[in-house]
Amino acid sequence: MRSLVLLLSMAIAGRPAPVSTVPHSGEELLGQMHDRYAGKWYRTLSFVQTSRFADGKTETWYEAAEIPGKLRIDIAPLDSMNAVIFRNDSLYAFRGGALKAARAKVHPLMVLGFDVYATPVETSIRKLRDRNIDLSKIRQADWQGRKAWVVGAAEGDSTSAQFWIDQERLVFVRLIEMGEGPSGPAREETQFNKYEKLAGGWIAPECVFFVNGKLFLTESYDQIRADPPLAPETFAVDSYHAPAWVQR
């Protein structure tokens, strides 16, 4: 009875009712994320990124994405023709307009922050399992003043591979994994912060990266555009193509 009264009172006040479905696994949570925004999330994205490194170095990156699975980063100055392209779970690096590297690479931030809303749930599940995230483990936690779901680690476990999802918005907010640093294993943490509504979805205009608990990189997004037109060659990897989408 109290639940019914609460729902009615929130409806009268014009506030959304709380989500009542509690996921019992990471698989269920990924399904809820997909179903919440499927067909509503923007399909292309562009922005200008200021990258501030802990050593004081600052760079400007021009980024474009086609969801799911494609991301391009052009590093200023544009006439240097330095770019990185992610597509088909692979990474391609251009330097001076020449392809210098090509290797398999699943971008976990694309999977959790964007692709999950546009790909079959089974695809997201497979890619995250491949990163040794235990999807059977799920719990609640507080994160930056909001409730979150934590997948992959029990309470007090700060090193197991895990991702955090905002409970209300069903958006990605935190990833912890163990990587390999110059002096051995390193704890790598990524945060998507300061979420804003964007078209039928959301965008985090601040991303921060930590290595072994120390700030490594802060990314700030500006000139954010949802569903910009992107030329077919934007994500081509046969040869370098100038980023025609950049507004100069």
- Integer angstrom CA distances of residue 27 from 71, 127, 128, 134: 25, 12, 10, 10
Helices (H), the chain: 2-12, 26-37, 108-113, 121-129
pLDDT in tens, 149-166: 999 999 999 999 999 999
Query: Which domains are seen in the chain, by residue range?
Result: 25-235 (2.50.20.10)
Query: pTM score > 0.85 for this model?
Result: yes
The ranges of the chain with pLDDT < 70 are 1-20, 248
Cα–Cα distance measured from residue 61 to residue 78, given in angstroms and rounded to the nearest whole number: 9
Q: Which residue has the tokens 């949802």?
A: 226
Contact 206, 190 (CB under 8 A): no
What count of other Cβ atoms lies within 10 Å of the Cβ of residue 56?
A: 6
In the DSSP assignment, the letter for residue 130 is T
Instruction: Give the pLDDT of residue 12.
Output: 37
